Each structure stands twice: as structure tokens, then as C-alpha cells.
Amino acid sequence: MYSPETTKYLIHLTLQTEGVVDKPDVVGAIFGQTEGLLGEDLDLRDLQRTGRVGRIDVQITTRRGETKGEILISSSLDRAETALLASSLETIDRVGPCTARMKVDRIEDIRVTKRRRIVERAKELLLEDFDEGTINSDDLLDEVREVIRIEKLELLGEEKVHAGPNVMASDAIILVEGRADVINLLRYGIKNAVAVEGTNVPPIIIDLCSQKTATTLLDGDRGGELILRELLQIAEIDFVAYCPRGKSVEEMSRKEIVKALRNKVPVEVVADHIPGEGTAGQPPARTTAGTREVLEDERPLQQQKTGKEVGGKALPTLGEHMADVRDRRIARFLSSDYAVLLESNATDLEGALQTLGGDVEGVVVDRVVDQKLLDQIGGKNLEFVAARDFKGIIKRPLSIRLIKIG
């Protein structure tokens, strides 16, 4: 209909005649009645011959003796010339033998239509076809730094275990499980980590532990427990640091890593309390270097803190509370002077914990305490827990004393 390369405007006209006419009649009327009307420069035949005006497209329908239709004329003239040409077409009053009326409906700017289509298509491309996402400078820097960290990794011994760049030069090392753990510690500036690479501990690890101060930082799962047990048997470990339960070292944040290493425990404290096959153990609380923790259940009851006198009557001691709840399936929440603040059924201990106030010092309960229950108790900031037994304890809050009812 028109050349999209050269056309600027498209003139839309409506036609109505009082009689039946054909397309050639309409085209002939347009050329015949506009000839010489606007001068030689805007003569329609000359403009069409030079390509400044396109072909005349006529679409008409005849009904009940009347003809109606639409006429489209493309133009590459400027706006003023196109408007003048369009207005001259409204002077046509006859088509063939019939009276006619022609009116300009609108002049469409083809470039505006193109721009609109371009914008809409650009929106579609922006939403659908870009698969790299938003460029983030921090992500780019992290990606580059990650390459540097990986390049800094060293391979030690014939087993080629992964290690940080300062392992050989440092007088202390940190034992982790795998390559990803070493990279995560490098991310936070810790360059003396070395990977154990599973439960089959390489000889190079044993040699390093004999020469340097060795601290373990293993995943808080069953695999980490097994590796720790093997290391304690075959290597000279000095300290044990605990990863948060259920979390791996490669997932730890800087704060979690620093906290774990700061709260490391001397190996003498944990050596006798590492769980065996089919049993559960607990990491004991941090103690001063060179001393051995004395567990509360190893003390004679008469050495437990004695109760105070209230109104001339002595309150029960902690040992008396423990003896009193034994085999009764009850739980007692005690204040700092061992007064009973709340007593509940032992099986409903979890529900009773939800109602505690801030003046509870500890709890004495006639039931087995597992890791899940201990985590709930730890969230209440209690000082001690006395229970029939402790099972499945992998990580215990450092601030809580665990007392086994004898």
C-alpha cells in the first residue's frame, strides 16, 4: 500500500456518494478535480510520478444505492504540504455521475506509529529476553575475589589436601572438613585452615597436628561428629570449636565463625565425652586452659548450693528438689534461692516453658532431656537443668549447667 522506507504520513479519508460507483471512478475523480488546483509543485500526478505520494488505495462498499468507503494516500511531503494536499481532496463533490462528499478523517504520522511499536517491543524484550539479570558491582567484585581465593588455595602432601596459604607458616591450624570450608574461611581472612577431606584422615594432617596447635571446626552434623572422633584417636588435637547445630562450615557467616573459634574448648575437656556408636554426647562448657571441667552430676549432693531461710524456715536445697521429683514425673521451676515458682507435669515441660517469667533460675525435671528440649530451655536463659538423663546432646548452650539426677 505504501513504502515504509519513505512514507512519513498516511492520509485517511471517508467517501460517501449518492449512487453506485466503482474504484476507477473514485481514482479518476481525485486526479481530475485536483489537477492544477495547488499549482505545479503540488500536482498529484507529478507527486505520484516522483514517488513523493504513494498509490491511492480505495476500499468501497455499495448498499441500497449508496456507496461508502475509505481512501488511503501515503505521503513523504512535509507536514504543511501534506495537510494542504489532504484539504484539497475535500473539494471533490462528484464521483462519476453521482454527488459525493469526501472528508479527511485523520492524518497518521507513520513515524509516531513506528516509535510506539518500537517502544512496546523494547518493553517485551526487556522483560522476556534478557537472562543475565541486573548487573550488580558487588556481585562482580565477589566473583573476581572468589577466583583470587581459589588461586590462593594450596595442595599439601601426596594426598593433595586443600589448605589456606598460611598453613605451613603459622604455628596454629584449623581443621575443617572440605575444600568449600577452606574457601569460606579465606573469604573472612582466615588463611590457616586445612581440609581433612573425610573420615579417612591423611598422614599430612596427623603430621601438622603434631607440629602445630590444632583446632577442629567441623560441620554440626553426624559426619562432623564421626570425623572428630577419628581425629581425637589418631591426631594431637588441642582445641575443639563447634559449628551451629545442623549447619556446615561453608554456610557460616563471619560472626558465627569468630564466635565458634572464640568459644573453642580444650581437648582435655571433651575427650571423655565424645559420643560412641549408638549413644549421644554433649560438648561441655568452655573452661580455663589446662583445667578439667567437673560435671555437676559428679559432685556429691551435699556439695550443692544450700537453700536460704525464709521466715525462719529453710528452703529446700537443689539436692532435695532433685530427690523429691525423682520417679514422680514432675518438673519444678526454681528461683535463685531454690523456691518453687511453678510445678507441672514432666511431659508438659515444653508448654510450661512458654509461660515462664524472668525470675526463673533453673528447672528440675524427672524425664530425659534431648537436644530439641535443651535448645528451648536455652532460649529462656536458665542457669541450670537437672534431669533424669541427657540424650542426643550435640551442642549445649555454654551458659547452662547440666545436672544429672542420681
**Residue 379 has what pLDDT?**
80
Q: Mapping DSSP to helix (H, G, I), strand (E, B) and coil, where does residue 313 land?
A: strand
Domain boundary among 73, 93, 126: 126
Q: How far apart are CA 406 and CA 391, in angstroms?
A: 15
Domain range for 25: 9-126
Domain boundary among 126, 154, 173: 126
CATH of the domain at 395: 3.40.140
Q: Mapping DSSP to helix (H, G, I), strand (E, B) and coil, where does residue 75 land?
A: strand
- In angstroms, what is the C-alpha Rg of the chain? 45
Q: Is residue 283 part of a domain?
A: no
pLDDT tens for the chain, 406 residues: list them.
455 556 889 999 999 999 999 999 999 999 999 888 888 888 888 898 888 898 899 999 999 889 999 999 999 999 899 999 999 999 999 998 899 999 999 999 888 888 888 999 888 888 876 665 566 677 677 666 666 566 678 888 888 888 988 888 889 999 999 888 888 888 888 889 999 887 788 888 888 998 999 999 988 888 888 888 888 888 888 898 888 877 888 888 888 888 888 888 888 766 555 544 433 334 444 433 332 332 333 333 333 434 445 455 566 777 788 888 888 899 998 887 788 888 889 888 888 888 877 778 889 999 998 888 888 887 877 888 888 888 888 776 666 778 888 6
> What is the total count of domains within the chain?
3
Residues 49 and 88 in one domain: yes
- For residue 71, the cross-strand partners are 13, 58
Domain boundary among 242, 273, 304: 273
Nearest to 86 by CA among 18, 14, 147, 141: 14
Q: Is residue 162 part of a domain?
A: yes
Model-level pTM? Answer: 0.39
**Residue 355 has what pLDDT?**
80
Q: How far apart are CA 176 and CA 231, in angstroms?
A: 11
**Residue 259 has what pLDDT?**
86
**Three cell numbers, residue 191:** 588463611
Residues 171 and 265 in one domain: yes
Q: How far apart are CA 56 and CA 403, in angstroms?
A: 101
Q: Is residue 63 part of a domain?
A: yes
- Contact present, 263 and 286 (Cβ < 8 Å): yes
Q: How far apart are CA 320 and CA 332, in angstroms?
A: 12
Taking CA atoms, 379 is separated from 358, 374, 375, 396, in Å, by 12, 9, 6, 11
Residues 318 and 348 in one domain: yes
CATH of the domain at 66: 3.30.70.2690
**Residue 81 has what pLDDT?**
92
Q: How far apart are CA 222 and CA 242, in angstroms?
A: 13
Residues 164 and 104 in one domain: no
Residues 156 and 267 in one domain: yes
Residues 163 and 82 in one domain: no
